[in-house]
């Protein structure tokens, strides 16, 4: 067994284990952390496919940013596990139907004509100086420049929409105006009052 294959099976085993734990573990924080582990091992598998840019981006974006915020929310929620567990039997038929449909779809795709070994040959092994990042960039900014730009514009719109949603006026929100804070002068805060010095006769010493 080559070293590469050993790495693949190790990562694959960890990935399957982590993915299973995401849905079976009781504590939502643990579930989120297992999802992080799943992303991380998935990035390892992508590295084996010589897709280092995508692998590192997966860690950077999903593990480093998305899951941090996710975990943040999950940690602050006071989730009642009992109410989550209730109604398992009632929802089972719906869940089973969806699962069966997804399984059917995957079988249809994987067994389709365009997906066999003939039309999808194993990827060519590249030399050590092959740059996946450069290849990806040159394709994205030439052949697929319009879809890429459209996706970027949609994302910007989503960002602006999300920011706009937080800008509504709420009674309880407090904010600082830094410009005003910076402009403050001593005279606005402190008033120095000139007073005549008071003289008091020293009391008689006791000793």
Partner 1 sequence: MEESGIIDWIVTGSVILAKILLIVGPLMLGVAYLTFAERKIIGYMQMRVGPNRVGPRGWLQPIADAVKLLMKEVIVPTRSNHYLFVLAPTLTIAPALAAWAVIPFDADTVLADVDASLLYILALTSVGVYGVIIAGWASNSKYAFLSTMRSAAQIVSYEIAMGFALVGVLMAAGSINIGEIVEAQRGSLLHWYWLPLLPLFVIYFISGVAETNRAPFDVAEGESEIVAGFHVEYSGMAFAVFFLAEYANMILIAFLAALLFMGGWLSPFEGIPVLAPMFNWVPGLVWLLLKAGLFLFFYLWFRATFPRYRYDQIMRLGWKVFIPLTIVWLVIEGAAVVGGLGPWFD
Distance CA 140, CA 57 (A): 15
Q: Where are the beta strands (DSSP E) in the chain?
A: none
Binding string to partner 1 for residues 137 to 156, with x set by CB under 8 A, is what? Answer: --------------------
Distance CA 76, CA 92 (A): 29
Q: If binding is defined by CB under 8 A, does position 10 make contact with partner 1?
A: no
Minimal distance, residue 102 CB to partner 1, in Å: 30
Minimal distance, residue 37 CB to partner 1, in Å: 10
Which one of 68-76, 96-104, 108-116, 183-191 is the stretch in contact with partner 1 (CB under 8 A)? 68-76
Which one of 8-16, 54-62, 93-101, 148-156 is the stretch in contact with partner 1 (CB under 8 A)? 54-62
CA dihedral 184, 187, 191, 196 (to 10 degrees): 160
Of 15, 33, 38, 42, the residue at the interface with partner 1 (CB under 8 A) is 33
Q: If binding is defined by CB under 8 A, does position 73 make contact with partner 1?
A: no
Coil vs helix vs strand at 26: coil
Which one of 10-18, 29-37, 150-158, 189-197 is the stretch in contact with partner 1 (CB under 8 A)? 29-37
Task: Report the residue number, 76 or 164, with the smaller CB distance to partner 1.
Answer: 76
Minimal distance, residue 192 CB to partner 1, in Å: 25
Q: If binding is defined by CB under 8 A, does position 60 make contact with partner 1?
A: yes
Of 19, 48, 59, 148, the residue at the interface with partner 1 (CB under 8 A) is 59
Distance CA 34, CA 21 (A): 6
Of 4, 23, 69, 114, the residue at the interface with partner 1 (CB under 8 A) is 69
For residue 110, give Cα distances in angstroms to 12, 120, 122. 19, 11, 15
Residue with tokens 């993915």: 19
Distance CA 44, CA 10 (A): 10
CB atoms within 10 A of CB 61: 12
**Under rule CB under 8 A, how many of the chain's residues touch partner 1?**
25
Distance CA 142, CA 114 (A): 26
Minimal distance, residue 190 CB to partner 1, in Å: 19
Distance CA 32, CA 70 (A): 8
């Amino acid at each position: 067994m080559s070293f590469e294959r050993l790495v693949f099976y190790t990562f694959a085993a960890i990935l399957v284990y982590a993915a299973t734990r995401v849905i079976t573990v009781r504590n939502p924080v643990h579930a989120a952390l297992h999802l992080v582990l799943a992303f991380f091992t998935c990035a390892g598998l992508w590295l084996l496919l010589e897709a280092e840019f995508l692998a590192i981006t997966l860690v950077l974006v999903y593990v480093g940013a998305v899951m941090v915020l996710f975990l943040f929310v999950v940690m602050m929620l006071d989730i009642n596990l009992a109410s989550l567990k209730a109604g398992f039997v009632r929802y089972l038929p719906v869940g089973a139907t969806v699962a069966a449909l997804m399984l059917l779809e995957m079988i249809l795709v994987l067994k389709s004509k365009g997906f066999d070994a003939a039309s999808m040959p194993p990827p060519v092994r590249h030399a050590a100086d092959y740059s996946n990042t450069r290849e990806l960039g040159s394709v994205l900014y030439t052949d697929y420049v319009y879809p890429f730009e459209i996706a970027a514009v949609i994302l910007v719109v989503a960002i602006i929409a999300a920011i706009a949603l937080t800008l509504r006026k709420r009674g309880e929100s407090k904010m600082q105006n830094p410009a005003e804070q910076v402009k403050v002068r001593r005279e606005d805060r402190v008033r120095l009052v000139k007073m005549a010095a008071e003289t008091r006769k020293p009391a008689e010493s006791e000793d």
